[in-house]
Every structure is written in structure tokens, then in C-alpha cells.
Structure 1
Amino acid sequence: MFKKSSATGIGILLAILGVVLFSTKAVMVKLAYEYQVDHVTLLLFRMGFALPFYISIAFWKKPLHPKEIRIKDYVWVLFFGFVGYYLASLFDFMGLQYIKAGLERIILFIYPTVVVLLSWLFFKKGITRSQTWAILVTYLGVVITFWDEIQIQGEAAVWGGFLIFLSAITYAAYLVGSGWLIPKFGVLQFTSYAMIASTLCVGVHYAFSGNFELTHYPWQVYALGLAMALFATLIPSFLVSAAIERLGASTFSIFGSLGPISTIVLAYFFLDERISALQIFGMIIVIGGVSLVSVKRKAKH
């Protein structure tokens, strides 16, 4: 009993640390933009600094079931690395040029609703009436959250929100489509392969559109790129995996709502971002709607 409660306590701590660290990414991106770095270069720094670690993991951890893996499976890994980490990150970094870090996290938080919708569209998995209402309430919460921002920034807020929504869609597509590959490769192995593939995509993107002045930025840009790679990408991915192993996916999902809250708090202290009472009300609606969708989805499984 003591060992079980101890493992649960450690799992809760790991879950909280992982979610909070993931939420620091948007704040660090906004801080880096103050030094006039473009989104492609910043994304290259983030992925480039993390690449050696993921290559090491790929060599250290072999696939769980190598005999079941075919060449087409590696092709799918490349595809999902492109969609789930390259496109999702690209849209996210682009959107953060237009909206607050706190609002970005609220939109990204709705990805479980997108997972449900994509599963319904492409895999004919049913949606209950309560899930439908929860999804509608969630998107109503997003509209409420953005209402004040649209009044202030106009089209910029709409465009930034749309880009972040595309990020949520591409990440959800990655989760829906890649589920059958993870048992073959293993979580760490699959993640590492997908991250390596996405880094290659970022490198190709930079080769076509970058300014090739990677050594001309202030030291803060490199420090923030390294911090994003370690503290907002690599370390929390391991913390979350360890937390899920101890708590289970259903219990871990409870801590997901800490993401938007911690981002808003961090953005308040580091970016001087202010969130209105209406936006807080909208955030509560979003968290409630997503939590209800997630609970119903877990119950069905």
C-alpha cells in the first residue's frame, strides 16, 4: 500500500512538472520574438538543440518489435513527424506572432475535441450527444475568450487564433493516425524518430526561406532556443511518459487543465500579459468542455 501511494505521489509530481514545463514554451517563444528573430529560425534553434538527444535515444532504444516493422512503417513515421511536429510547431510559432501566450495555450488545449471529431470523420467512431454538446460548449468558450482580443487587435487576433487552431488540428491528426505505430516502435522510439524527421523538415524549410545568419543573433535567442529544446520539449516529454506509466492516461488527463492556467500565470510575470475577466470565464468554459470530452472518451475505451 505504501509503495503504491508513493508511486502515485511521484506520478502526480511528475505530471505537474511535465505540464508546467510544456506550458513554458509559448512564453519563451514570445520572449525570443523581442529580439527580432523570425519564426523559422527560432523553430530551427529549438529542434536543432534537441536533435542530438533524440538521435541518442534512437540509437540507445531499439524498436520494441522490429520484426513487425516494414519499410512503409518508417514512411509513415516520416509523414507523422512532418504533420505532428513540423507543421504543428510551425503553425504554433507563426500564431504566437499575433496573439498572447495565454490565449495560444487555451486554443491548443482543445486538441482532444479535434481528436474526437477526426476519429468520427475518418474512422467512423461514434460521438455521443453529451460529447457533441461538450465540443460545442468548448468552442463557445474559445469564442468568448477571444472576444475581447478581437475588439482590440481585430484581424491580427483572428489570424493568430486560426494558425494556432491549425496547430491543434495537425497535432490531433498526428495522435489519431500514429496510434497503430507506437506499439510497434515504443513510445520513446517513435517520438525520437518523429522528432528527427520533423527536424529534417525544419532544416529543409530553412534552406529555402532562411536568412542564413545563424550566428548574428543576441545570446538570449540561443539561450531561449536551448531552453525550449531542453525544458519545454525534451525533459517534459520524459516526465509525462513517466507520469502516465505511474498514473495511467485517464488520471494524467486530469492535470492537463494546468497547462492553460500555468501559461497565463507565467505570461503575466514574464510578458506582462493581462487577461480580462471575460477571457478567464471563457477559459473556464474551455477547460470544462475539454475535460468532459476527455472523460467521455476514456469511458468509451
Structure 2
Amino acid sequence: MPGRDRFLAAFTALLWGCNFLAIHATLTHFPPLFAGALRFVVIAIPTMLLVPWPKVKLRWLIGYGIGFGTLQFAFLFVGMKAGMPTGLASLVLQASAPFTVLLSAVFLRERLTAWQVAGIVLAVAGMSAIGWQRAEYAALLPLLLTLLGALSWACGNLCLRKAEPQHPLRFTLWMSVVPPLPMWGLSLIFEGPAAQWQSLSTFHLPALAGMAYTAVLGTVVGSGIWSALMRRNPASTVAPFSMLVPVVGLTLAFLLLDERPTVVEIVASAVVVGGVLLGSVRRRRRQDTTMSGCTTSGSTSCGEIRPARMSSA
């Protein structure tokens, strides 16, 4: 994975870590499912009017919109509204990384190196240590809902890999057309039109600012970069960088929401960072060495070390 892509992946993790504070602000005023629908409406309307079609198969766009857009944020928003602490939510949602690696190996047949597996195991161990420390502050239901959001994100990642969009930003923007109607329908059923109207009829600046951040920086910028990274790198290499998100989320929750991490959590966060770096840097070195050997020998097995890519068929 090139150095530029590692920087972009880390920058996306920073954007998504800040995203959890924005979601916290949004949910202080808007019902969770209705907030999710509004978040994507803000992007969907100008997208349909101004952005060209990304030229991908419709089923993969819908799959990504349902997994990454609809289900991930429905489960996450409801879980946070039900009591999931902001910092802990940023941690638990990153279970999408091992979910993505597992699903990629099973369905996309992406090969994992020993260094990659070791890095992921190390990062998951650090994440688990943080979760063990903070689990006493969250009920079982919010934890399960957030884990379901992580699994939905992983399923969306696989649809993204299958789509292979030539214009990742267009693909991300058009993905936003999928979630509004199903999330609005779920909001009507579980939250009711009265709650929707009440949230729209009153002005709440922090909630509106939070929604603007999640729509523009969290979805358009963050997801656009993520889509590009997933397109030109194996999903199992990009996904572990999402484990940096809880480091940002826990830190900001401590500074701004008074959610205080323990010494174990701080050490475990450093372990997460080390695992992510191990799982990405070592893989690149291995590929570079192998590719060099293939070039000099003219072996036909060079294709084995290339990132797994799906045929357009």
C-alpha cells in the first residue's frame, strides 16, 4: 500500500473519529432514524441533479447503499440514542475491519499474509481491551446494535469491491440516494410523524452543524476517499485503518464530553495503532520484494501477489 494511500486512510480515520461527536450533537435533537434519512437527503438531491451516473452495476450500488448507508447508520444511530457512549461507539463500530477481512477472504478470496493477520490480531486485541474496560458503561442492546452496524459496513465494503467504480466519488454520492426512503419509512414506523415534525419545527444549531459535518465531511469527503482506497487496494489492507477511528473518538470524547479513558485504554489505543501499521507496511514490503523477483525471473506466477480484483463480468 503506497505511502500516500496510508496517509489518506489515516486522514479518513481522523474525519470519521470526529464524526462521532457530530452524531452525538445531532441526536440531542433529531430522532435517530429520521436523522439518518435527513443526513442522506442533503446529499441525494444535489447528486441526482448535478452528478453523472458512476457507470456501475445497479445491484452493487444498491448493496453498498443498504449496507454502508442504510443499515450501518440505522443501527449506529439507534444504538447511540439507546445509551451507547460516544467514545465506545467509535470503538465497537470498528469491528467492521475484522468482519471485512473475514468476508473478503471467504467471498472475494483475497489472500492474507502472516504479517497482515498478525497486525489485525494485534489491533483487535487492543480494541478488545478497550471494549472490556468500557463495557460496564453500556447496556447489552446498544452494544449489539453497534456491532450490527459494523457488520453492515463490512457487507457494504464487499459490494464496493465488486462494483469497482471508475469514479469513486460519484459512486459514493450516488450511494446516498439509496438510504433516505428506507430510513424515512423506518422512522415513520418506529418514531412517528409527530417526532419528525417536532424536530423540524424547532431550530437547534449544534444538531444542524453536526448533521452538516456528517453529510459533507463524514460522507462525501471521508467515504469518497475510502471508496478510492478500496478500489485500488485489497479490502483486507485498507479495512484495518478504520481501527484508528476509536483512537480519535475516545480522545475527543475525553476532551469534550468528559468520557475519561483509563491507563489500560490509552495503552490499548497505542496497540491498535501499532497493529494497523504492522498490517499495512509489512505487506507492502513483501509485495515489493516478490514483484522484484518476478520481474527478473520472468515467472508467470507474478499475478499471485497482486491485490485481488474482481472481473467486470
TM-score range, shorter chain: 0.7 to 0.9
- For 1:179 and 1:224, locate their aligned partners in 2 and report how far apart those are by CA, in whole Å: 35
Q: Which residue of 2 aligns with 1:131?
A: 116
Structure 2 counterpart of 1:111, from 88, 96, 112: 96
Q: Does 1:78 align with 2:62?
A: yes
Question: For residues 160-171 of structure 1, what are the structure 2 equivalents within 5 Å?
Answer: 160-171=142-153
Greater relative contact order (Cα < 8 A, sep 6+): 1
Deviation at 1:18, TM superposition (A): 5.4
Q: Which residue of 2 aligns with 1:293?
A: 279
Instruction: Give the aligned residue type for 1:166.
Output: L
- For 2:98 and 2:173, locate their aligned partners in 1 and report how far apart those are by CA, in whole Å: 26
- For 1:223 and 1:297, locate their aligned partners in 2 and report how far apart those are by CA, in whole Å: 45
TM-score between the two structures when normalised by the length of structure 1: 0.74
Question: For residues 81-230 of structure 1, what are the structure 2 equivalents within 5 Å?
Answer: 81-96=65-80, 97-150=82-135, 152-153=136-137, 156=139, 158-183=140-165, 186-213=167-194, 214-217=196-199, 222-230=204-212
Q: Is there any run of 5+ residues in structure 2 with no aligned partner, and where?
A: 288-304, 308-313
Name the SS of the counterpart of 1:180 in structure 2. helix
- For 1:249 and 1:124, locate their aligned partners in 2 and report how far apart those are by CA, in whole Å: 16
- For 2:214 and 2:193, locate their aligned partners in 1 and report how far apart those are by CA, in whole Å: 25
Deviation at 1:118, TM superposition (A): 0.8
Relative to structure 1, the CA distance from residue 187 to residue 111 in structure 2 (aligned partners, 3 Å threshold; closer, same or farther) is same
Q: Which residue of 2 aligns with 1:44?
A: 37
Please give the per-residue CA displacement for 1:265-284, whole angstroms capped at 9, x wherever unaligned.
32223322111111122222
Name the SS of the counterpart of 2:130 in structure 1. helix
TM-score between the two structures when normalised by the length of structure 2: 0.72
Name the SS of the counterpart of 1:54 in structure 2. helix
Relative to structure 1, the CA distance from residue 128 to residue 19 in structure 2 (aligned partners, 3 Å threshold; closer, same or farther) is closer
Relative to structure 1, the CA distance from residue 287 to residue 163 in structure 2 (aligned partners, 3 Å threshold; closer, same or farther) is farther
Instruction: Give the aligned residue type for 1:41.
Output: F
Q: Which residue of 2 aligns with 1:57?
A: 47
- For 1:132 and 1:183, locate their aligned partners in 2 and report how far apart those are by CA, in whole Å: 27
Deviation at 1:237, TM superposition (A): 4.3
Please give the per-residue CA displacement for 1:198-253, whole angstroms capped at 9, x wherever unaligned.
1121112122222212232498875344323321232344444479989x977999
Aligned residues: 276
Q: Is the 8 A contact 2:70 2:179 kept in 1?
A: yes
- For 1:256 and 1:139, locate their aligned partners in 2 and report how far apart those are by CA, in whole Å: 11
**CA RMSD of superposed structures (Å):** 3.6
- For 1:229 and 1:254, locate their aligned partners in 2 and report how far apart those are by CA, in whole Å: 26
Q: Which residue of 1 aligns with 2:261?
A: 275
- For 1:169 and 1:257, locate their aligned partners in 2 and report how far apart those are by CA, in whole Å: 14
Instruction: Give the aligned residue type for 1:78.
Output: I
The share of aligned pairs that are identical, in percent, is: 20
Relative to structure 1, the CA distance from residue 160 to residue 148 in structure 2 (aligned partners, 3 Å threshold; closer, same or farther) is same
- For 1:189 and 1:143, locate their aligned partners in 2 and report how far apart those are by CA, in whole Å: 35
